[in-house]
Copies of this chain bind each other. A is one copy, B any other.
Amino acid sequence: MDFEISKAIEVLSTTPATLRSLLENLSEAWVGPVIQNPESKIQNGDWAPYDIIGHLIHGEETDWIPRARIILAQSDDRTFVPFDRFAQFENSKGKSLTQLLDEFARLRAENLDVLRSWNVTEDQLHLEGMHPELGRVTLSQLLSTWVVHDLNHIRQIVTVMAKRYGIEVGVWKEYLSILK
């Protein structure tokens, strides 16, 4: 599937509502801190849904649009600021899950307004920036990654939720690839 900004925006614009639907009416037992349990394959480092929304917020603030600006500016130094994958553990403190979902929805809508306002051309999609670890990357790769990153974290959320029933499903576990 070739990259087109309009198709990327289709997914990016729906993620906040999808996460809200998935999470907003669930009890703490589903969305709260992950409790380690080797038998259900929940790992100590697994992020709870709460942590993941915080991570997505930090991406809106420091990753996608700031990096796109660096690429579009084409100044001498096109190296991105490294992304802090653990910032949410500090930034989300004291906030409810609903507050985080609201904040994510607001930031995402603002960022998509910025992206649309740029009217990025086909030529600009091939402009490059410098990723601190991966090296040269293009604007279309950055924007594609923004989309896949959303999908990746929806996947992570449903996976960590499913693992909470890893024992309860009994012998059906064999049929459920999400528990493997």
The residues of A with any CB-CB pair to B shorter than 8 Å are 1-3, 7, 10-11, 13-14, 17-18, 20-22, 25-27, 29-30, 131, 134-135, 137-138, 140-142, 144-145, 147-149, 151-152, 154-155, 158-159, 161-162, 164-165, 168-172, 174-179
Contact = CB atoms under 8 A, between A and B. Distances in A.
A interface majority secondary structure:
helix
27 contacts: A1-B29, A2-B168, A7-B27, A7-B29, A13-B25, A14-B22, A17-B21, A20-B21, A21-B21, A134-B171, A134-B172, A134-B175, A137-B171, A140-B168, A141-B168, A141-B170, A141-B171, A145-B169, A145-B172, A147-B165, A148-B176, A151-B159, A151-B162, A152-B158, A154-B158, A155-B159, A155-B178
Contact of A144 (B25, B151, B165): B165
A108 to B, nearest CB: 13
Contacts of A176: 145, 148-149, 152
Nearest to A158: B151
Nearest to A42: B1
Contacts of A158: 151-152, 154-155
A137 B170 contact: yes
A17 B152 CA distance: 20
A10 B22 contact: no
A144 to B, nearest CB: 4
